[in-house]
């Protein structure tokens, strides 16, 4: 992902790119604004753009630095997040030591403090010490939805960039293009997401949740499931009130499994089910998740064409069981 692919925040992105190119990126920045609008995404992108071997500027997305920052393994980029509910003083003392150290290999070091309002009082004071003398080769980015809960003395040492909520059209496009969500679902979630991509992703209804539990269980067990039970599962799915949503949901689960399998870096649609997804990603399904997700897209088209529901669900189960069967289908 590059700056132009991040939804909204046009002015903020322009400021960041300009200061990066001039090598004038402030040593301490505060990204403040509602949750789920892209603050952390842009903080990481700034680190990538600045440390890119062809930069600083728009990250090339091809060099070793870009790749390692994306995978979260670059030694000069660190993200600090609450350990439970708080960011404790030990973490910050360690951070302050590192802020004053020289970079391992890049032109600078980046320290991103997520949910900075979770800093304990002691931790805040420790951080303040670290920012008293502006670090020369380190950049600290504090991220928070409630800047007023930070110490005023910390706020005053940071250059603040404010993030606003996103218009629904931006959210819808993000969900469709970056997350591969079907248009109707993306539209619905964008409307309900209150200007936050994070909220739109997390949105779920009760019945949706229940169905997803069933689908997760199916994915976890399908490989060892006796034939008779597979038939029962297909029957049950074909009786779902909204069979198309079942397929869409299955597709979103497989998409997440593929993301995990590839080492992450992209937000999960079903982040709350991450533990189960991780388990499934390690197994046979994990290795073929992308392929299965694509086939389910075909099945959805077939279902829309008024195909027999039970037949479609039988094919779904056969596909997931690794028995193929989709050659029977002509998606046209």
Positions that interact with Zn ion (CB under 5 A): 52, 60, 63, 66
Q: Which residue number, 56 or 135, has a Cβ lying nearer to Zn ion?
A: 56
- We find the least distance from the C-beta atom of residue 61 to Zn ion, in angstroms, to be 6
**Smallest distance, Zn ion to C-beta of residue 54, A:** 5
Distance CA 186, CA 247 (A): 15
β partners of residue 143: 31
How far apart are the C-alpha atoms of 304 and 7, rounded to whole Å?
31
* Minimum CB distance to Zn ion, residue 263 (Å): 18
Question: Based on CB atoms, which residue is closest to Zn ion, 39 or 70?
Answer: 70
- The Cβ of residue 308 has, within 10 Å, a number of other Cβ atoms equal to 11
Please state the closest distance from residue 67 (CB atom) to Zn ion, in A.
8
Q: Compute φ and ψ for 166, nearest 5 degrees.
A: -100, 145
Would you say 67 or 279 has its CB closer to Zn ion? Answer: 67
26 vs 67, which CB is nearer to Zn ion? 67
CB 315 within 8 A of CB 326: yes
Nearest to residue 161, comparing CAs of 57, 8, 54?
Answer: 8
> Cis peptide leading into 267, omega within 30 of 0?
no
- Shortest Å, Cβ 259 to Zn ion: 21
Inter-CA distances, 77 with 43, 95, 113, Å:
11, 11, 11
C-beta of 64: minimal distance to Zn ion in Å? 8
- DSSP lists the bridge partners of residue 30 as 142, 160
Q: Closest separation between CB of residue 5 and Zn ion, Å?
A: 15
Matching residue, tokens 């029962």: 232
In this complex, which beta carbon is closest to Zn ion, that of residue 20 or of residue 96?
20
Beta strand segments in 64-198, E: 77-80, 109-113, 138-144, 159-162
Q: What are phi and psi of 16, to 5 degrees?
A: -60, -45
69 or 253: CB nearest Zn ion: 69
- Closer residue to Zn ion (CB): 109 or 233: 109
Q: How far is CA 43 from the centre of its chain?
A: 14
């Amino acid at each position: 992902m590059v700056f132009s692919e991040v939804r909204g925040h046009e002015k903020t992105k322009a400021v960041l790119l300009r200061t990066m190119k001039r090598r004038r990126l402030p040593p301490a920045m505060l990204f403040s604004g509602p949750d789920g609008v892209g603050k952390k995404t842009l903080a990481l992108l700034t680190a990538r753009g600045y440390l890119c071997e062809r930069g600083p500027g728009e990250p090339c997305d091809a060099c070793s630095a870009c790749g390692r920052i994306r995978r979260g393994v670059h030694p000069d980029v660190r993200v600090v997040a609450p350990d439970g509910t708080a960011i404790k003083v030990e973490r910050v003392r360690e951070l302050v030591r590192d802020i004053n150290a020289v970079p391992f290999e890049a032109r600078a070091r980046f320290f991103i403090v997520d949910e900075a309002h979770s800093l304990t009082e002691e931790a805040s004071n420790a951080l303040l010490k670290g920012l008293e003398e502006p670090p020369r080769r380190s950049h600290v980015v504090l991220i928070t939805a409630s800047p007023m809960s930070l110490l005023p003395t910390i706020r005053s040492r940071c250059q603040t960039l404010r993030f606003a909520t996103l218009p629904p059209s931006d959210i819808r496009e993000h969900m469709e293009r970056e997350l591969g969500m079907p248009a109707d679902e993306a539209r619905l979630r964008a409307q309900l997401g209150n200007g936050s991509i994070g909220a739109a992703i997390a949105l779920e209804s009760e019945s949706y949740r229940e169905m997803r539990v069933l689908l997760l269980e199916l994915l976890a067990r399908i490989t060892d499931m006796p034939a008779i039970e597979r038939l029962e599962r297909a029957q049950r799915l074909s009786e779902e009130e909204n069979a198309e949503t079942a397929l869409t949901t299955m597709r979103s689960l497989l998409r997440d499994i593929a993301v995990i399998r590839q080492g992450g870096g992209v937000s999960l649609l079903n982040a709350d089910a991450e533990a189960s997804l991780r388990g499934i990603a390690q197994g046979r399904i994990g290795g073929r998740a992308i392929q299965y997700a694509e086939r389910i897209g075909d099945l959805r088209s077939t279902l829309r064409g008024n195909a027999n529901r039970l037949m479609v669900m039988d094919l779904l189960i056969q596909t997931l069981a690794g028995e193929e069967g989709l050659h029977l289908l002509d998606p046209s």
